[in-house]
Amino acid sequence: MIINEVKEKIYEIGFDDIIEIDAAPNGEPIDYRDLNAMIHARTLKNCKKIVLYNICGQRFIGAALQGDFEIIINGVPGNDLGIFMDGPKITVYGNCEDQVGNTMNQGSMIINGNGGDVIGLSARGGTIYIKGDVGYRVGIHMKEYKNKFPIIIIGGTAKDFLGEYMAGGIIVVLGLKFLPDGSIIDIDQSICGNELGTGIHRGSIYLRTDEKLEDKLGVGAKIVEFDGKGKEEIGPFLYEYCETFNIPFDLVINKQFQVIKPISKRPYGGTYCNKMI
Amino acid sequence: MRWENYTSLPETFRNQRVFDGCGISGLINIDGTRISGDTVIDMLCILKERENGLGAGYAAYGIYPEYKDYFAFHFLFDNETAKSKVLEYLENFGSVIQSEPIPTSLSHEIDNPPITWRVFFNPISERNQDEAEKIVQIVMEINENIDNAYVMSSGKNMGVFKGNGWSHEIADFYKIREYKAYMWLAHSRFPTNTPGWWGGAHPFNLLNCSVIHNGEITSYGTNRRYLESFGYKCTLFTDTEVIAYLIDLLCRRHKFPISIATIALAPPLFDEIEKLDRKSQIIIKNIRATYRSAMLNGPFSIVVGNSDPIPTMMGLSDRKKLRPLVVGISEDENTIYMSSEEASFNRLMLINNRLDLKEVWHPKSGTAVIAKLGKGLIKNGIENPLKKRTIALLEVA
């Protein structure tokens, strides 16, 4: 009987319900707790698409949400966007702040703008696609297990400590610049900051550049050649990224990539006997 | 001033703490247009996740044009005795032009506020002594030796308004919206290691220099001992105090331009210095060696306002970028905004489309953003801090 009741309820509300929420009625932004409670209530009613307008720094949007639905954000979401998220798709039209995809488990995130610091920290799965530049400590302590791994693709540049203590997953930095007239060129500055991949012990960082990265390498990281295997690894995701942001795939793939890998699985294993293994 | 009185948390917020960092906001109008406090209050109050009701404050530059030649003292007194003692003490060193309470509106949200008082003061010029130096001595003497009295600010044509409460409560308490200033700094506090009390709220001020700070200065002990050797007394139980005094030391006493002072506060790492040309290496290494004890360690992002000699706003984050700082510039390039979060700018856009930003960017860690009145954005915080222009400035200095 109970099952029947649930089924009736689903039928009543429907699957393709789109709900729009104005997060700043009369210009006054609502509290993040109220906003998240609203989103939660809607998702429990099988709403498949939630469109948020006038977002202004509300934190924890999409926190710990599970299921297959989409959240579209217009504005600047606050810290910890999609924290512990497990499945949904979040699209942001605007810049975002720090800690996007904190400990994310599954799902996808598309940022049509720049990102802040510490994106994808401790992420365990899912994809984060960012069109513009990102800040410091992106992909810190990402991890992977068997077939489950997180992917971060950055269109612009990254700053210091990219992939710090990385324990799995893939980070790709493309070094592209999007001009106001719609054309796409390669950047003329450095693609990443210093301490690249410090303490990395699994996973890989792909950088689309021909600049010398030796000086920027952190402890425990090394540069390896970009071979067919690497192409196979990032190819499908890169293709999806290019489709998402309307970037010609040939332009992206036809340039030298460099790959950062760990020198060992346990870079600090020898800490107490003064050597690196 | 005793701080024990003002450390209790308002009953309503006792069980509602969300642990996070402080919020900072600031803006400067390059052409000197004075605007009301509304803008900066809106920028700050949207960052309500970054405060817990234990302190907020505002610094405003250009608010007393009719008294612009006199030093404006803002005081906090616990009782009437302290007030009469301080006013008596001031009479010894100059003439009090005006002495009056700071206009406040008391609401039920602020419990037990101290007496807030302001004095416009003209020191007697003595031979061989700088006016500013005299004021510094007076401030240090009041803070250290007169019980229950504390100086909030002591600059010309500017003032600091701060207290223990949420940012919107303090704004209402001091009627911040009624003041007009060309440069505003605002801070909401989330005290971590030090008590939340009226004197410990930011901005910290000495003469014309005010500092707002998010983070913690782990080198406080070193900095404090270093400053004590120059006669500064740290009496306010809060680490940010040393930044205000360090900038006073570097920029006023040692006459460095602010861009060089920032190298002393957040010097580049030695392996970064090695990559520069020889001349820059010598300069930076000398600054690092001379001002070793002035270096700030630990996570911080600060915004500094200084109106002497040219009104300047400077934003700086620590070298490892452990605290956020975002900068924005208006469409007409007349207003520079700084904040902890981009939400501040977005907030202004939501209200009557008041803001149209040309660009928003995250400055590089350990690199200063400097905007000067009449000159515009001198440094945007993205370029290398050690380019030729900086060295030329040093030679002039």
Domains of chain A: 114-273 (2.160.20.60)
Contact A84/A105 with Cβ under 8 angstroms?
yes
Rounded to a whole number, what is the distance in Å from the CA of B212 to chain A's nearest CA? 21
User: Residue B256 corresponds to which tokens in the numbers above?
Assistant: 């460095």
Beginning with the edge strand found earlier in the chain, give each strand of the sheet holding A258-262 in spatial order: A18-22, A49-56, A70-76, A86-93, A106-111, A127-130, A151-154, A167-173, A202-207, A258-262, A221-224
B342 vs A76: CB contact, 8 Å cut-off? yes
SS3 call for A168: strand
Burial B331-343 (b: 16+ CB within 10 A, else e): eeeebbbbbbbbb
Angle between helices B258-265 and B388-396 (to 10 degrees): 110
> How far apart are the two ends of chain A, measured CA to CA in Å?
62
Q: Which residue in B has a C-alpha nearest to residue A79's C-alpha?
A: B341
Give residues 262 to 281 of B whose Cβ lies within 8 Å of A: 272, 275
Which residue segment(s) compose the domain that B309 sits in? 4-396
d(CA B241, CA B233): 10
Q: Which residue in B has a C-alpha nearest to residue A58's C-alpha?
A: B343
What Cα–Cα distance (Å) separates residue B384 from each residue in A276, B271, B303, B387, B390? Answer: 33, 14, 19, 6, 10
d(CA A16, CA A165): 42
d(CA B331, CA B308): 27
d(CA B82, CA B389): 49
Q: What is residue B20's predicted lDDT score, i.e. its pLDDT? A: 58
Backbone angles phi, psi at B378, to 5 degrees: -75, -45
Prediction pTM value: 0.88
Which of B362, B364, B365, B387 is best to mutate for the A interface (most A CBs within 10 A)?
B362
A250-271 mean pLDDT: 85
Rounded to a whole number, what is the distance in Å from the CA of A230 to chain B's nearest CA? 31
Q: What is residue A90's predicted lDDT score, i.e. its pLDDT? A: 95
Catalytically active residues of B, by annotation:
22
A56 vs B46: CB contact, 8 Å cut-off? yes
B347 vs A116: CB contact, 8 Å cut-off? no
Q: For residue B209, how many other CB atoms are within 10 A of its CB? A: 28
* ipTM, two decimals: 0.86
Nearest CB partner across the interface for B350, out of A56, A95, A116: A56
Contact A119/A134 with Cβ under 8 angstroms?
yes
User: Residue B397 corresponds to which tokens in the numbers above?
Assistant: 């200095």
The CATH number that applies at residue B165 is 3.60.20.10
B324 vs A24: CB contact, 8 Å cut-off? no
d(CA A99, CA A119): 5
Q: For residue B216, how many other CB atoms are within 10 A of its CB? A: 22
A159 CB neighbours in chain B (<8 A) are 321, 364-365
> How far apart are the two ends of chain B, measured CA to CA in Å?
39
Q: For residue A115, how many other CB atoms are within 10 A of its CB? A: 31
Number of domains within chain B: 1
User: Residue B344 corresponds to which tokens in the numbers above?
Assistant: 């501040």
The residue written with tokens 């006792």 in the block is B14
B341 CB neighbours in chain A (<8 A) are 57, 78-79, 97
d(CA B243, CA B302): 9
Residue pLDDT tens, chain B, 397 long: 444 444 444 444 444 444 557 899 999 999 989 999 999 999 999 888 888 888 899 999 999 999 989 999 999 998 899 999 999 999 988 899 999 999 998 877 777 788 999 999 998 877 777 888 899 999 999 988 888 889 999 999 999 999 888 898 899 999 999 999 999 999 998 887 777 788 888 899 998 999 999 988 889 999 999 999 998 988 887 888 899 999 999 999 999 999 889 999 999 888 888 888 888 889 899 999 999 999 999 899 999 999 888 999 999 999 999 999 999 998 888 899 999 999 999 888 888 666 778 889 999 988 899 999 988 888 888 865 444 443 334 333 3
Nearest CB partner across the interface for A136, out of B272, B321, B341: B321
DSSP B104-120: ----TTS-S--EEEEEE
Nearest CB partner across the interface for A160, out of B321, B324, B343: B321
A136 vs B364: CB contact, 8 Å cut-off? no
B47 CB neighbours in chain A (<8 A) are 57
